[in-house]
Chain A
Amino acid sequence: MPRRHWSFWMPPEEHRFIRYFSDLYRGLLTPLGQTLLWGTGAAALMMLWGLRPAIAFFAFCTGMMLGALVVGLPFRPRLALTRRLPPPVSAGDTLRYQVVVENPGRRAARKVVVEELGLRPELRPVGEPTVIESLGPGERVEVTLSLDCKARGAYELPRLQASSFFPSALVKWPRRAPGKDRLLVYPRFTPLAGFDVPHGRNHQPGGIPVASSVGESTELAGTREWREGDRTRDIHWPSLARTGRLVVKEFQEEYFVRLAMVLDVESRSAQDDALFERSLSLAAGIADVLARQEYIIDLFAAGSQVFHFQAGRALAHFEHILEILACLEPEDRLDVGALESVLLPEASRLSAVILVMMDWDEQRAALIQKLKQHGVAVRVLSVRPGRRPEGLAPDEVVELP
């Protein structure tokens, strides 16, 4: 989830207490009720001068609010709510999901509105909520809610509310779902037209048998004449039956290409945060390209500490990478020494390293050189405008799209 740099001048919905009052305001009043509340406030001010028409108008506004509050109480719905969330979407997309509304009560619920409250400002409800005219006892209905997901992150959907504004159309009496759901929003992909996956010279130990760790999944490459020392279990019995000579099976080891993706999470300002989001978006694009091929990807998130995530070769590994990218937070500084101490011991087992850098300086350049000395192919991206990586071969620098 992107970190927020607190500022008095940030948009009002970013302030927690404003969100709280906004939720109360939206959760308990219909738009017409909100309108009346403003009218009541203005009338209260005008009433202070003690003029009778102003007092009469104030009395009417407050009377209408009180009347709406009292008359709606007996119609407070008794409802059970369940969200049915689809797979995660990317930042900037609209998430549509269903909410199952069930009436376990004995009376019909009228004029029911289902809406999400307590949402972070990165998630915005789209459109007007649907009104369920009437839901009889035991009846169940599905409504579709839409959320505009503006930024990546792992969010909580804290309050799902079903409320009835019957019969005043001013005040909503709510019923809230007890459970909270987690919503993951992936970073937006930056599509990379042609990303040339680098390959280094390093031997890749392990391979499929090690990676699978169950059974013998080496590939049959062919057969040959038996030689002294061959295992009897490798004898190819059909060939023996056909030729009368001992023939053994030959196998070929299959290897994965193991890549590391290093994400520089150094960010010191709101401008840096925007660049950081861009770097994550690029990383998601690269992961998308890599996921189409049989690569094992190691992800290093490097800030003041270095976190190492290893993704498997299972089909779900791309989703896992996106989940990690969705939850990464920026840090104040990049500790290149810490990154070296984690990355260089792994270098001998890596074919290539893709580095998404927030900036370009001598320390970062020295790290690249050390990686190259270990025989690792590198691809470097620097997201900061005007800080293109220097001292590298042209094919080692990835141009920003």
Chain B
Amino acid sequence: MSDAPSSDSQSARGWELLPVLAALGLNAVAHNRWLLCVPVAGLLVAAVALRFRPEHSSRRLLLSAGVGTGLGALMLLWGAVPTPIPPVMMSPLCGALVGLSAFCALSGRRFYAVTYALILTALSSAVPDSRGTYLGLLAVVVSLLVSAFGHGRMGRSGVAGAVGFGAFVLLTVGATFGMGRAIRMSEGMLTEALFRMSSYAPKVTTLMPRDITLERHARLPETGRLLFELRGAKPALLRTAVLDTFDGTRWTTSSALEEQRLDPVPPRADETLRETELTVLEPLGPALPAPAGTRAVAGVNAQARGAWVWRANRLQEGTVTLKHEAREQLPSEPAPGAALTLLPEELRAELRPLALEITRGATTPREKARKLEAWFRDNYEYSLSVNLQGEGSPLAVLIREKRPAWCVYFASAMAALLRTLDVPARVTGGFVPEEQNPFSDAFLVRDRDAHAWVEVYLEDEGRFVPFDPTPWRSRETIQAQYSPGALKNAWQAAASFVRRGLSRLMTSPLEALGAMAKHPLTWLVAAALLAWRGLSRYWLKRASQPKAAMRGTDPQLTAAHARYLRTLRGAGFTPGPAETDDELLSRLRAARGENVARAAEEFITLYRRARYGSGPVDAASLGALTAALERTLRSERPHA
């Protein structure tokens, strides 16, 4: 932004000061900074009246920011209003902006001054509602419009300018209200989206919400996100939440159930329990999926709460072992009170005739529950979208008109119908593990495996017994569309193997190493490595000797040859760079006689055999030949 010094006209400078003065006023009102803003505003007005204009320079600008920061920090002594930014930062920041805008306004940098003033306005407006704040904002708005009118010199355009600017103001007002309304309507969405984008946001998966509202028109998002996998004994149902309170459209978990702590019977030494290993792949939140009859949980600090729902803290990753009875049934407990048969009277009146008609002929709670379960399974279709618009409550529409829905609706309807017949019933949420990875044999549990069913208290058994009214035939048709391919399964199995291995290594390294040592694959790999090592050594050793000789890397040979050359050089026979051994021998024969040449020839023959032949040669014999050559050279006089 280029910002040339503005005119010296007193009135023009006065107009330019307006947004700065308004921003100072807003800061004083909103942040209770009268002690800072009022003197600064007074100084500004006085400086304009006295035609004082300091020179603009970077150093002075920094100085003004520094002084403002210091004064802003000092203002903390007089308290601070609650703002989203901590006061320790907010107060000095606002102080700096006050200093910067005031100095720029004084030195004639009007656009910089307005920029700092608007940023100050934005910071000042981040406070709770108050009349003073809105009045301050209004002052800033008006000053900005006046500035725009003055800066554009709209007065010079006469009527056209006035009309055009008037239209602009009207449009601005309209757009402001429209924008404000749009933001209020989407309140929280933007913030939530931003926090979702942030990697710091905790990714808590709500497996089964604590409350379920039965909407008349809704759609279930179908996601295939992998949440956890199971190894070992496969449970039929994994429970995560029990909803026992119903107000007609909303199921919730009562606080009594939520706060109740239960102590399962610890496993006896002679007792054989089934074990299911649960590997968490996505953060699960507090709910720990566990089958009915779970007696103990290893690998995490877990607690059984009311209705035998297990809770664990910070279950984000790792592997948990569930120890449960072979028969998945809840422990016996006394009959529940009237709370589990409560329904709004209108709903009871609406549903009871339907319930009586469906359960005609059934006398016991078990029979009633079975009849209702079968009725839902036989007469309904599973669907991921539901439309229950019509006369009466959503459940009445669902039951009367047999509209398609998903598990939560069927479970709610069955539980409500049972309650109208005074049979204690509640809705239970959790997962049904179905998908198995053929490569790892693990059961994969995804978002879409979430399920809801009904638990009915049967007096003859003295416990709650699950009934599932969901029509599985049509649900399976939908589920079949999402079966993953072989490649995806293989990749998932490999990733899972690595993840589990690392997890075990981190949590219990000795156990993990022990398991690895016991694994037959480990022994197979170790045997293969040993075999390869032994064979390679054998082959390398056989091949290495001649190859080393060919390369001249045998140190004994190299030393013997060096000694031979040294001997010849000592006698004045330095081999030429292109001279062959035979030529050297001829030269020796001519110069020093046959004996010397023969001694050298013997060495060179043996050396060649050692270097280029395949047979082993004793280095000592080469040394002896060199010594013989030295002796011969000493004894044989050079030819004249």
Contacts and interface: CB of A to CB of B under 8 A. Distances in A.
State whether these chains interact.
yes
A133 B144 CA distance: 22
Contact of B164 (A43, A52, A70, A167): A167
Nearest to A42: B122
A47 B152 CA distance: 29
A127 B152 contact: no
A228 interface: no
A170 B154 CA distance: 12
Given A46-B125, A110-B157, A38 B118 contact: yes
A110 B179 CA distance: 29
B114 interface: yes
A48 B191 contact: yes
Contacts of B191: 48-50
B148 A170 contact: yes
Q: Which among B118, B167, B190 has the greatest number of chain A C-beta atoms within 10 A? A: B118
B194 A57 contact: no
Interface stretch (B181-189, B456-464, B467-475, B545-553): B181-189
Contacts of B372: none
Interface stretch (B47-55, B127-135, B340-348, B390-398): B127-135
Contacts of A165: 152
Interface stretch (B170-178, B267-275, B423-431): B170-178
B363 interface: no
A188 B50 CA distance: 46
Contacts of A48: 190-191, 194
A36 interface: yes
B364 to A, nearest CB: 55
A170 B168 CA distance: 10
B173 A71 contact: no
A48 B122 CA distance: 12
Nearest to B179: A59
B84 interface: yes
Contacts of B187: 50
Interface stretch (A61-69, A142-150, A264-272): A61-69
Given A57-B121, A63-B173, A63-B176, A31 B167 contact: no
Contacts of B167: 71, 167
Contact of B125 (A34, A57, A110, A170): A57
B33 to A, nearest CB: 15
Interface in A103-121: 110-111
Nearest to B154: A167
Q: Give the size range of A's interface with the partner.
A: 35 or more
A372 to B, nearest CB: 44
A169 interface: yes
Contacts of A337: none
B193 to A, nearest CB: 10
B375 interface: no
Contact of A60 (B115, B137, B152): B137
Interface in A240-276: none
A42 B120 CA distance: 9
B165 to A, nearest CB: 5
B129 A52 contact: yes
Q: Give the size range of B's interface with the partner.
A: 35 or more
B151 interface: yes
B98 to A, nearest CB: 15
A39 B115 contact: yes
Contacts of A59: 176-177, 179-180, 183
A35 B111 contact: yes
A110 B169 CA distance: 18
B160 interface: yes
A47 B637 CA distance: 109
Contact of B123 (A46, A50, A56): A46
A98 interface: no
A36 B122 CA distance: 11
In terms of DSSP, what is the predominant structure of the interface of chain B? Answer: helix
A167 B151 CA distance: 11
Contacts of A60: 137, 141, 172, 176
B126 A53 contact: yes
B303 to A, nearest CB: 36
Contact of A71 (B118, B149, B156, B164): B164
B161 A42 contact: no
A73 B38 CA distance: 41
A111 B137 CA distance: 29
Nearest to A60: B176
Contacts of A54: 122, 125-126
B181 to A, nearest CB: 8
A36 B130 CA distance: 24
Interface stretch (B1-9, B557-565, B607-615): B1-9
Nearest to A64: B172
B453 to A, nearest CB: 39
B89 to A, nearest CB: 13
A134 interface: yes
B147 interface: yes
Given A50-B187, A63-B179, A34 B137 contact: no
Given A50-B187, A60-B137, A34 B151 contact: no
Q: Which among A36, A38, A48, A127 has the greatest number of chain B C-beta atoms within 10 A? A: A38
Contact of A36 (B126, B144, B180): B144
Nearest to B172: A67
Nearest to B150: A169
Contacts of B141: 60
B108 to A, nearest CB: 13
B137 A38 contact: no
A94 interface: no
A116 to B, nearest CB: 13
Nearest to A48: B191
Contact of B168 (A38, A39, A42, A68): A68
Contacts of A131: 153
Interface in A155-182: 165-170
B214 interface: no
Nearest to A169: B152
B157 A111 contact: yes
A208 interface: no
Contact of A45 (B122, B171, B172): B122
A211 interface: no
Interface in B57-111: 84, 111
A60 B148 CA distance: 14
Contacts of B493: none
Nearest to A33: B148
B84 A51 contact: yes
Contacts of A64: 144, 172, 175-176
B483 to A, nearest CB: 42
Contact of B30 (A53, A56, A110, A169): A53
A39 B165 contact: no
Nearest to A55: B183
Given A31-B3, A34-B1, A55-B183, A166 B172 contact: no
A133 B160 CA distance: 12
A67 B118 contact: no
Nearest to B84: A49
A186 interface: no
Interface in A69-90: 70-71, 75
B196 to A, nearest CB: 13
A39 B122 contact: yes
Interface of A: 30-32, 34-36, 38-39, 42-43, 45-64, 66-68, 70-71, 75, 110-111, 127-128, 131, 133-134, 165-170
9 contacts: A56-B137, A58-B179, A59-B179, A60-B141, A61-B118, A64-B144, A66-B172, A71-B168, A127-B4
Given A167-B160, A168-B148, 9 more contacts: A32-B147, A39-B115, A43-B121, A43-B125, A46-B122, A53-B137, A67-B172, A127-B4, A169-B152
Minimum-distance CB pairs A-B, first 6? A169-B152, A167-B164, A39-B118, A63-B176, A63-B175, A42-B122
